[in-house]
């Protein structure tokens, strides 16, 4: 009986997945894999995946997540433009840390924006989970900026905000997207240690591997 219940729950979860969500997830993974290889085509995958998620999130009443996709669409265009025409200008940008004061200011900003937008959404719209929606959205905006500036701790921020997003997507029935974010959490942990190694080598003045020398600043896009 228990096994049948589990099987029924899994079947229902897969039935709830839309074809568009499957396409969006596949393209989001393609973006990540292509970006790791610094293939400029990653931005095409990012743009299309993000455009799909804009409508998917709106459909499940995650209004802030939907609005976030507009930001990601612009960042996809910006990333393509930078890689296509201005990658040489990023050669001197190195991985660095933020001081504690800057981190406190960043979290204070996320907290204030979460309270402000969460309150407005809860009182004026039919948004689902307005405060969690606002928290993950503004956290993603700040963390994406950190990636563009090669701030080492951006990976730790992603662990937090992606972790909260997993619950948010499960709550709204976006099971495949929740699974995607589980993969993201695993990947960003590896990303942190990779950047940490590069950072420590740079601080020590030691030689860098070709993968860690003069890379353009990667813009992390997540649905």
Is 175 part of any domain? yes
Is 223 part of any domain? no
**Model confidence, pTM:** 0.77
| Contact present, 21 and 54 (Cβ < 8 Å) | no
Is 145 part of any domain? yes
pLDDT, tens only, 56-103: 999 988 988 999 999 999 988 988 887 788 655 555 568 899 999 999
Identify the bridge partners of residue 96 per DSSP, sorted by sequence position: 151
* Number of domains present in the structure of the chain: 1
**38's torsion region: left (phi>0), alpha (psi -120 to 50) or beta?**
left
Is 147 part of any domain? yes
HSE value, Cβ hemisphere, 13 Å, CA-based, for 101: 0
Is 88 part of any domain? yes
Confidence label for 10 from pLDDT (cuts 50, 70 and 90): very low
Is 217 part of any domain? no
Q: Report whether pLDDT(215) > 90.
A: no
Is 221 part of any domain? no
179 CB burial (10 A radius; 0-12, 13-18, 19+): middle
Range of the domain at 138: 2-212
Confidence label for 6 from pLDDT (cuts 50, 70 and 90): very low
């Amino acid at each position: 009986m228990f096994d049948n219940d589990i099987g029924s729950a899994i079947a229902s979860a897969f039935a709830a997945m839309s074809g568009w969500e499957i396409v969006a997830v596949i393209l989001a993974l393609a973006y990540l894999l292509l970006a790791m290889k610094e293939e400029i085509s990653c931005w095409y995958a990012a743009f299309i995946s993000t455009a799909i998620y804009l409508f998917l999130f709106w459909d499940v009443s995650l209004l802030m997540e939907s609005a976030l996709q507009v930001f990601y669409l612009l960042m996809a265009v910006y990333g393509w433009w930078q890689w296509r025409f201005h990658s040489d200008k990023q050669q001197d940008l190195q991985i660095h840390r933020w001081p504690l004061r800057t981190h406190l200011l960043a979290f204070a900003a996320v907290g204030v924006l979460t309270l402000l937008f969460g309150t407005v959404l809860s009182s004026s719209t039919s948004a689902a989970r307005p405060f969690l929606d606002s928290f993950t959205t503004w956290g993603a905006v700040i963390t994406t900026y950190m990636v563009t500036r090669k701030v080492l701790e951006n990976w730790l921020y992603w662990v937090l905000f992606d972790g909260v997003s997993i619950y948010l997507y499960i709550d709204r029935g976006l099971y495949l997207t929740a699974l995607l974010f589980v993969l993201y959490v695993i990947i960003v942990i590896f990303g942190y240690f990779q950047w940490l190694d590069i950072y420590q080598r740079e601080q020590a003045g030691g030689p860098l591997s070709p993968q860690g020398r003069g890379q353009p600043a990667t813009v992390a896009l997540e649905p």
